[in-house]
Amino acid sequence: MLFYAEFEMLPGIQYETVNSKILSWEREMESKPSNFKILGKYGFYGARKGFFLIETDDTDSFYACIKHFRDVYLWNLKPIHPLTDFIKIKRGKHQ
């Protein structure tokens, strides 16, 4: 399954808080096996807005990937069709 996950930093959140979350998330992901693969990301470190393109075996794995950031980012989550929607995203036309 592929997921397109847009994020926007919540108001009042400092970049340092987000960067700290990212570092602890990376350590957590290194310490245990995961059922997801991040295929692409834009605007992650220090960004107010951006997106992930995530491939997972199931929706539970997808939510495990992003749960770490619930208190710093607002998410717009969309399961996507692997071929047609991916092409739209690559062309910048995903709505």
Task: Supply φ then ψ for residue 89, to 5 degrees.
Answer: -65, -45
Question: 95 lies in a domain?
Answer: no
The tokens describing 26, both together, are: 């990376």
CATH number at residue 37: 3.30.70.1060
pLDDT of residue 91: 58
Residue pair 55/80 in contact (Cβ under 8 Å)? The answer is: no
d(CA 28, CA 13): 22
Question: In this structure, are strands 73-80 and 2-9 parallel, antiparallel, or unpaired?
Answer: antiparallel
Question: 11 lies in a domain?
Answer: yes
The tens-digit pLDDT sequence of the chain (95 residues) is: 788 888 888 888 887 887 788 788 778 777 877 777 777 777 655 567 778 788 888 778 777 777 777 777 887 766 655 545 555 555 555 44
Which residue segment(s) compose the domain that 29 sits in? 2-90
Question: 58 lies in a domain?
Answer: yes
